[in-house]
Amino acid sequence: GNSVTQMEGPVTLSEEAFLTINCTYTATGYPSLFWYVQYPGEGLQLLLKATKADDKGSNKGFEATYRKETTSFHLEKGSVQVSDSAVYFCALNTHVNAGGTSYGKLTFGQGTILTVHP
């Protein structure tokens, strides 16, 4: 089945440090890949996505490149801020047909807690 593995946290950084959160996946077919972010007390929200191999998703200074050869989608940011403190989830999306209905199924990694100190 499909699965997503993220680097274990928590990750603690000083402001302006470089961030990498590793994400690898196992999937049949050609999934789309996502990073979701969950700020304290809030629900998840989409941070960025990539729909095919070699695509780069970017948003708010974060980037991730869809690497099919290494089945990876690592999240990076050159200079983190205190406001980036959150939980980050890597996810993949596949289309499922089940029992006469179909839906896009998101499979999430376990989440990585990021804390940025001033």
Partner 1 sequence: NAGVTQTPKFRILKIGQSMTLQCTQDMNHNYMYWYRQDPGMGLKLIYYSVGAGITDKGEVPNGYNVSRSTTEDFPLRLELAAPSQTSVYFCASTGHPNTGELFFGEGSRLTVL
Name the site residues for partner 1 (rule: CB under 8 A).
Answer: 4, 32, 34, 41-46, 49, 89, 91-93, 95, 98-99, 101-106, 108-111
Q: Which is nearer to partner 1, 3 or 14 (CB)?
A: 3
Q: Which is nearer to partner 1, 70 or 98 (CB)?
A: 98
Q: What does DSSP assign to residue 79?
A: S
H-helix segments, the chain: none
Instruction: Give the whole-angstrom CA distance, residue 24 versus residue 118.
Output: 30
Q: Which is nearer to partner 1, 62 or 89 (CB)?
A: 89
Cβ of residue 118: shortest distance to partner 1, in angstroms?
A: 27
Cβ of residue 43: shortest distance to partner 1, in angstroms?
A: 3
Instruction: Give the whole-angstrom CA distance, residue 59 versus residue 24.
Output: 20
Cβ of residue 33: shortest distance to partner 1, in angstroms?
A: 8
Q: Which is nearer to partner 1, 19 or 33 (CB)?
A: 33
Fill in the amino acid letter for 24: T
Cβ of residue 18: shortest distance to partner 1, in angstroms?
A: 25
Instruction: Give the whole-angstrom CA distance, residue 39 versus residue 88.
Output: 9
Return the closest-CA partner of residue 65 out of 55, 78, 79.
55
